[in-house]
Amino acid sequence: MDKKSLAPFSRKEKVFFVLSVDTEEEWDWSGSFPQHPFSVKNTANIPKFQAFCDRLGIRPTYFVDYAVANDPESVKNLKEPLDRGRCEIGGHLHPWCNPPVDEDVANAKNSHAINLPMDLVAKKLKNLNMKLEEAFGEKPRSFRSGRWGTNGDMLKLLADNGYVIDSSIHPYYADTPFSYHDAPDIPFWPGYGDCITPGEQRDIFEVPVTSGYNRPDFPFWNRLHRTLSKTPLSQLRLVGILWKLGWMRKIQLSPELADADNMMALVKAALASGHQVIHMYFHSSSLLPGAAPYVKNEADESAFYGKIEAVLEYLKENADVHCCTLEEAAERILKEGQ
């Protein structure tokens, strides 16, 4: 990419950089969902990743699921930076590994917590919270649903269990049980009636990941992208043509899903749009070469770390960056907005 197109802004605005990690078991994502015993070998590389974060001043938020919280070595690798104040531990609900497992785990529909009976989700969440508090000595206050997705009932349940931050809404993304194409792409108070519409409740705050396009005004470009992706226009392959021309690129701020240049283009567009939070994310399985489709070998691992560093360095050149955990970023946004 032409570096002139990524030239620094003339004025540096204050932004909060958050890096969140879905910290979970690894498995073959092309196969069925895993069952006990779960493999959490990837967490052995948490100390290496944390040292990398410490060097860059990043304070990651680890969304930890039951399989990881139930493994003593995994807990040890996460508790060390937690005790040093270098990270945050949040909750991450994978229904298939979180007791009680009363549902059919072979059914992909049941992998989304919002598709399960809410009384079952309540039991799972209670067990997850007890396990996390037992492992780390404190109650989790931030949460991300496995495979994304939430609704008003889920948000109420989280608030009732002491959570104050949710990060389960992925802007401009949809799956079978939900569509977040019309969701806000900045932090907001979600409504209990409609979780993608700002509401009156002030119990739980939504901090979505950074997702959008290489041009400002993400909602406009997303409407165009969706229009061109539908039949009969999809047959013209205009989305691919516009991507190659660099005119319209849909990008997620994740080193698993985008290269450094495209992530920097997304960051530039987000800054131009006035985003206060730049929120990058990935899965912990990407820390172990061969455990996820995104990092297959040591060369991929090196490139993976390099992408994170390149994006942060670009961000520092263009903004007054404050690296925060998820809860810290939310607290500072809300305090400064008063």
Cβ-based neighbours of 224, under 8 Å, separated by 6 or more: 248
d(C-alpha 135, C-alpha 90), whole Å: 12
> Within the chain, where are the H helices?
46-56, 66-69, 72-83, 118-136, 152-160, 218-229, 238-245, 260-272, 298-318, 326-336
Phi/psi at 322 (nearest 5 deg)? -125, 110
Is residue 226 packed enough to be buried (19+ CB in 10 Å), middle (13-18) or exposed (0-12)? middle
- Tell me the CA distances in angstroms from 108 to 31, 36, 326, one per residue in order: 11, 17, 29
| pLDDT tens per residue, range 256-287 | 999 999 999 999 999 999 999 999 999 999 99
Segment 231-244 mean pLDDT: 97
Question: Quick one: pLDDT at residue 6?
Answer: 57
Q: How many CB atoms lie within 10 A of CB 57?
A: 13
Segment 24-41 mean pLDDT: 94
- Tell me the CA distances in angstroms from 264 to 141, 181, 309, one per residue in order: 30, 22, 11
Binned at pLDDT 50, 70 and 90, residue 241 comes out as: very high
pTM of the model: 0.96
Residues paired with residue 23 on neighbouring β-strands, in sequence order = 64
Q: Please, what's the b/e burial string for 124-143 (b: 16 or more CB within 10 A of its CB; e: otherwise)?
A: bbebbbebbeebbeeebbbb
| Residue 197: pLDDT over 80 | yes
The one-letter amino acid at 85: G
In this structure, what DSSP letter does residue 115 have? Answer: G
| Residue 8: pLDDT over 70 | no
d(C-alpha 298, C-alpha 328), whole Å: 33
Nearest in space to 283 (alpha carbons), one of 178, 180, 218, 209: 209
> Mind listing the domains of the chain with CATH numbers?
11-214+249-336 (3.20.20.370)
| pLDDT tens per residue, range 203-213 | 999 999 999 99
Question: Quick one: pLDDT at residue 11?
Answer: 60
| pLDDT tens per residue, range 63-91 | 999 999 999 999 999 999 999 999 999 99
Binned at pLDDT 50, 70 and 90, residue 338 comes out as: low
Question: Quick one: pLDDT at residue 3?
Answer: 47
Nearest in space to 326 (alpha carbons), one of 256, 278, 266: 278
Question: Quick one: pLDDT at residue 103?
Answer: 97
Question: Quick one: pLDDT at residue 189?
Answer: 98
Binned at pLDDT 50, 70 and 90, residue 336 comes out as: confident
